[in-house]
Structure 1
Amino acid sequence: MNLQELLQEFNPSNFVVYTCLLLFSILFAFRLDGTITISYWLVFMPLWIWKCLVILGAVIGSLVWIKNPEYRLSESSYIHFKSMLISLSLQLLLLMFELLVCDKLESGRHMWILAFIPLIFISLLSTAICIWAFKNDRAFELEVFCAVNVLQFVFIALRLDRFINWSWVVVFVPFWIVMCLAIIAVLYALIFAAILLRTPEVAIEQRKASIHSAISYSLVVIPLLIFLVLLSNKLDTTSDYAFPPLRPTLLHAPIIDHIRPSYFTICIPLYFAFLILICLSFNSKGNNQWWFGMRKDFCSFLLSVCPCLREYGNISFNKQNNSLSSPHGSQSAIESDQVSAGNPATGSSEKSRFKMNHKKIMMPIMTLESPD
């Protein structure tokens, strides 16, 4: 394992986003369960940290762009900077949505549909942004998520305001459609990886990449589907003020009414999916180089800021040779000697192999006669 290669494929943006979402989901579940009674403004603290980092990084990147006009000559640099500004605008709209949601949970002085207006606006803009990002080879995970779930956001807002009295299983129909498409994509990735695995003409690196992507998608999609099923059942049987109980239907069996797991238990598959996404951020390229004015990949920036890491960045670890560098290497060598000593045939074969590999090269003696 090489530290430099690991950092070269590290995406700090994805790492920060998924880590903040993981912390927020844990705090929010504890708050809904009543385990903690802190204010929702503190529960949303990981999201505030995320948005502060985005704003600070965009401001520093813009200042570097303004002070250095020579950086504008490169077309790729211009695309990166434009992508940063687009991402900043979406993050500001998302921040407005989070502020309205937090204020609604604290005071309840406005309707949910008002809080969801910035998110719906993001979803409408995301379609055009996805087209631009696809043409310029930029990442657009957040934009795709918002674009395909615009109808879902409308349904959730209407359900929370009690304009519709549908079951949450019905409200989540757009999510079910998206998850079905995701499962189909996972099955396709698994089948494609199995085909490549049995094709000898394909390179080994390509096989490993296909298997890695198929397993990664499976570990993300399946926990999200389990979480969505548990959440819909929880919301249909809860008596919370924000999610009022519905009339008894065939979906609500009497046995399930008294079995109400906590929100933290329901969110365990979601936490697992976030952990997988955090691990995948170490093997995810495509980071914007203009955040905080770095103008280079994260590995080069980190090594330039911390020169002490350069010594460790040049060290690689090989599993096959770890016995030479580990403190147990001498012990393993001693054990192998003991085994060879206990088995005469093995010892003689080792000695003969050693002699064969270390035979002296015999050359005829040639004398050089010099004239008198």
Structure 2
Amino acid sequence: MLPGAPWLLAHKSMLVVNQPRKISLYGNDYVIWKDINGEIYALPNACPHMGAMLSEGWCEVESNATSTVVCPFHALKFDGLGCTVLPDSRKKTLPQLKPLELIIEGDFIWSYGGYEPKIAIPGVLNEIANTHYFIGHIADRSVETDLLTMLLNMHDYNHQNGTHRDLFRITEVQFHKFIDDGYHSQAFYDMPTVPYSFIEKLRKPDLFLLPETIKAHLENYFPSLVIFYGEMPLGKAAQCHFFVPETENRTRTYILLFGQAKHPVFKVFGKTYLNFGKVVVDQDTDILGKIYPNTLQKIKLNNEVGMDWVRRNFENFPNVVSPNLSKSII
């Protein structure tokens, strides 16, 4: 599960004020919550009294506007440091739970899960947040698959006209370039589609937003982030896919979407673009449930360079080694 890599646990918008939520990382469960000031807290999810899930409890606002998480079993309140006040006592205890170390950058909530950092947090999200407006989040789910299988699927550029044929009607993948820069890479390819008829579009107006050729520019930050840059007549979008290893055999994924509007009407279609992202995750999740994971690969397709990049970095983590996989197809 690559201990020492940074994982984006959430965007602040994904947390409801004073509502506890369970998150998992490296096989451990935590409760995370946000107070009215936007401060974020995370503790181990098991109450140290009798093991009740704190995420099933509630939050209470304190006099200084911070909040505590309350155990649903015996109503013990824990502050962000893991301290509580026992019944018939007015004195706060020493920390009973060790907080999960969080790194907050703007609205982005990162964590190394308690391990020594081996890879720096990519700064690209801060750059995107400074140049784009935030559209929203979608498709937050846990998938019963290991991290490596998930990453191989996301970097398999040949699966677009199979896995994503429904709705997008992709007919082929025209691969152009892959740029390998260690834990950072970029891929460029085009995906012609079978156009929808005018009648089909009238019946479902969202289809007017789909281009006849999808031009893909992917920017990848191993191991946790894939950014799809899309350009439409009305604006640009940066669709950020995240991956978090919850357990050895369960990986969480979700999407944050950012936009740049060339025309004010672009913002009207924000929800539609989010739903397109949800379709992508739905289709990837579906196909991952239809794969025999231990099948020996006897056939290698062209342009599996992204998968080779994942395998190399996974096998050699935390070291970056040759070869350089950069390639161009004319």
Please say whether Structure 1 and Structure 2 have the same fold, judged by a TM-score greater than 0.5.
no
For normalisation by structure 1, the TM-score amounts to: 0.21
Higher relative contact order (CA 8 A, sep 6+): 1
Give the TM-score taking structure 2 as reference length: 0.23
Bigger strand share: 2
Larger Rg: 1
Report which of the two has the higher share of helix.
Answer: 1
